[in-house]
Amino acid sequence: MDILLIGSTGNLMHKMVDKLHKEGHRIFVLTEEGKETFFNRRVFETYRFSYDNACIREVFVSVKPAVTLFFGAFDKAYKWGTGMNTSVTYSSGLLNILMSFSALRQGRFIYLSSEEVLDGFEARDDEEVVRSKNSSEKSQAVAMGEKMCIDYGKMTMGDVVVLRLGNLYGIPEDAYELDNICASMCMDALDLGEIKLHPGHSIFVQDAKPVMDITDEDMKVLEGEKRFSVLHLMDAVEFIYKLMIAEKHEKDMYQISGKTLVTQKEMAELIISGMSDGAPGEVLPSVLEGLEDSQSNKILDCELADNEFGFYEMNTPQKALPALAEYIKKHAGRFSRRLDRQESAWEVFVRKVKEMIKAAIPFAENLVAFIPFFMLNNRATDHEYFKHLDFYLLYVLLFAIVHGQQQAIFSSLLAIAGYVFRQMYWRSGFDVLLDYSTYVWMAQLLILGLVVGYMKDKLHAMKAENANEVSFLTRQLSDMSDINGSNVRVKDVLSDQLVNQNDSVGKIYDITSGLDQYEPEEVLFYAADVVAKVMHSKDVAIYTIADETYARLFSSTSDKARSLGNSVHYAKMEQMYQVLCEKKVYINKDMTPEYPLMANAIFSGEHMQIIIMVWGISWERMTLGQANMLAITSSLIQNAVLHANRYMEILRSQRYIGNTHIMEAEAYERLVSAFLLAREKGLTKCSLINLETYGISMEELEQKMSSLVRTSDYVGCRSDGSVQVLLSNSGPSDAEFVLRRIQNAGMVCHMEEETQ
């Protein structure tokens, strides 16, 4: 089925993609990250829009997902702790996604939450649990998302589920994934050489409500220390997948956490054991008792989810924590916490100084430029040709044009100071201040500087606004191009199915029903040709199961289809064999050369009897739709084969001589004719060997021949009374080996002339 994952790249995203790909689903990803972010080829299509973009609805309409998974609390695209803008962006994006999902009126929406929504719950001395105001921005936003999803599901009668994951941890990909208790303890042991324990309370959260009454013996909180319930990433992925494929669910919210409770001391000891190399004299991290933590630990009860879906904890802390500690120690350089630590006082001082220097550069430039203009003005005053030229006015205009209004004011003040200073060479300061011409000159200088500076700032703002608009429209055009490209690919697939009607069920049935015109001996020969027509491939092979290990080639349509040989050890082809045993269609999405591109098995009850293998399929057509087509074709072929087998079983007494497996003349001649006709059409190979029996009984002949020919070969009488061996899927060179083996057994035989 089609599944839409909404979130950014990260360990949880990658593991979820791997799981869905392994199960044969088609995966779409919606993310806010840019195109430089890499998604592996297992993702069918990646859409890159902000979650509040109007294009989100078009994405849902185009994909029509059966399941939508919103990563919510585990989406690394949100940078929490930067202000209320993150909460607003988170809520508006989620609301837009929910509205787009509800417009489809189909599928299931899963919202991933975490134990952080319970940050505001505290346990008082009397063990009463109350809600305090001590909750983070992220916990409030994620909790609001939970309520929004539940209410929206009830309002629209949609299938919306909230899944709360408790203390999720796993092998991290970068430093941003070290925000869980397990990774934090590992980093403390690595960076500080010690792990501090924080005694306090543990709150058991049952049915999404925190309580202190813990009756189970394994869940009792020891006095003075906390117990933790941590959930491994792979266990979370397995349960999320169970929820995705479930036909129905009883609740609109489930909690998942580890079943194995561990104390902080036990976690510390497991982490230390994972970091230990066992070398003599090795210095290991120490465990210290810290101050009591004001925050209570939340233990999520997963009884509801366990009872309904079955939750099995495969990665217990005793198994996973040492592996996590070992990995973090081995890749310590990748997990530096410099990105999220607070700046020191010296770093703050250096940053402030740099900002001040950057802001002071235009003022320093203004002061430096004022000196030559001051000197030029002084020299021009006594010069006959330049005394009417106002250098101060040019100076103010220059900085107004280059730097804008702010520097225009500053340069005007400097020019006024220079003018007053020059006038005081032969007049007193009192006379200069009383001269009305001074104020007129100052006014024109300030007015001209302010007007030009204002125009400069206005033009700069308009230019920036136009650049932003062009950037926005460019992104919109890119988004439209992405959607159009996706729609074109979908159109090409639908064109094959709807316009040409080559892949319709009626067309498939019309092709496969042609098998009914063939004799029972010919059905499997022409089944390969039928599959080739339906799958639009020239390379199809049909193998019949010889035993629990090997399959023999029965018919094929090309040399490429015969590339695996006449016999295939199918049990060793694990990737294909495991999928076929589950009665699913195998798709070779890794393009492994040793495997066909698609394969399907035909069963009789629980026993595999026939394997159909297909090559020559383009990458674009290796989809679930093509897999379903092969499955339908195989089912129709199975009906024809079953009909032929039943017919042969009814005529068994007429086909064989006595109780032997030597065929009667009429049945054998008909079988040989079928093989020779199929060989002429390139569907198989066969060879004929004539035997000289010298009058021995058929029972004695069968005893001799049983060890000399394969189970897929046939021994039969001819109309003239002679005995002949039909070697299936064997050319002249292959038949020579069988011929010599029969001769070495003391029997006289020779090749039929037409097969030599």
Judged against a pLDDT cut of 80, whether residue 651 lies above it is answered with no
Q: State the average pLDDT over residues 186-193.
A: 78
CB contact set of 188 (below 8 Å; sequence gap of 6+): 194, 195, 196, 285
Q: State the average pLDDT over residues 496-500.
A: 51
Lowest mean pLDDT, pick from 242-251, 470-479, 548-557: 470-479
75 and 58 belong to one structural domain = yes
Q: Is residue 91 part of a domain?
A: yes
CA dist 706 and 357 (Å) reads 97
pLDDT band at residue 500, thresholds of 50, 70 and 90? very low
> Can you spell out the DSSP letters for 295-338?
SPEEEE--HHHHHHH-----S-HHHHHHHHHHHHHHTGGGG-GG
pLDDT, residue 219, reads 45
Higher pLDDT among residues 724 and 681, named by residue: 724
Judged against a pLDDT cut of 90, whether residue 530 lies above it is answered with no
Q: Is residue 333 part of a domain?
A: yes
Cα angle for residues 745, 746, 747 (degrees, 5° grid): 100
Judged against a pLDDT cut of 90, whether residue 109 lies above it is answered with yes
pLDDT tens-place string over residues 130-162: 555 567 778 888 888 888 898 888 888 888 999
pLDDT, residue 258, reads 85
Q: Is 729 in a helix, a strand, or coil?
A: coil
Question: What global pTM score does this model have?
Answer: 0.47
pLDDT, residue 123, reads 47
510 and 622 belong to one structural domain = yes
pLDDT tens-place string over residues 702-723: 878 877 877 767 888 887 778 8
Q: State the average pLDDT over residues 198-203.
A: 64
pLDDT, residue 5, reads 92
205 and 225 belong to one structural domain = yes
Last residue of one domain, picked from the residues 339, 374, 400: 339
Q: Is residue 492 part of a domain?
A: no
511 and 388 belong to one structural domain = no
Q: Which residue has the tokens 């390379």?
A: 539
What's the domain range around 578? 505-650
Q: Is residue 481 part of a domain?
A: no
Contact (CB, 8 A) for 180 and 169: yes
pLDDT band at residue 6, thresholds of 50, 70 and 90? very high
Lowest mean pLDDT, pick from 96-100, 160-164, 221-225, 714-718: 221-225
Higher pLDDT among residues 293 and 651, named by residue: 293
271 and 409 belong to one structural domain = no
Q: Which residues pair with 109 in a beta bridge?
A: 68, 160
pLDDT, residue 213, reads 43
Last residue of one domain, picked from the residues 316, 339, 362: 339
62 and 182 belong to one structural domain = yes
Q: Is residue 292 part of a domain?
A: yes
Q: Is residue 487 part of a domain?
A: no
pLDDT tens-place string over residues 572-620: 888 888 888 888 888 887 788 888 888 988 887 778 888 889 988 877 6
pLDDT, residue 590, reads 78
Lowest mean pLDDT, pick from 10-24, 36-50, 448-462: 36-50
pLDDT, residue 481, reads 74
pLDDT tens-place string over residues 306-352: 888 887 788 888 888 888 888 888 777 666 554 444 556 776 788 78
* CATH number of the domain encompassing residue 266: 3.40.50.720
Q: State the average pLDDT over residues 28-52.
A: 77
123 and 241 belong to one structural domain = yes
741 and 730 belong to one structural domain = yes
pLDDT, residue 668, reads 80
148 and 40 belong to one structural domain = yes
Judged against a pLDDT cut of 60, whether residue 108 lies above it is answered with yes
Question: What total number of domains does the chain contain?
Answer: 4
pLDDT, residue 289, reads 66
626 and 580 belong to one structural domain = yes
333 and 294 belong to one structural domain = yes
Q: Is residue 495 part of a domain?
A: no
249 and 392 belong to one structural domain = no
CA dist 662 and 656 (Å) reads 6
Q: Is residue 489 part of a domain?
A: no
Distances (CA, A) of 448 to 416, 432, 596: 14, 22, 81
Q: State the average pLDDT over residues 36-51.
A: 74
Q: State the average pLDDT over residues 279-289.
A: 63
Last residue of one domain, picked from the residues 339, 365, 380: 339
pLDDT, residue 128, reads 47
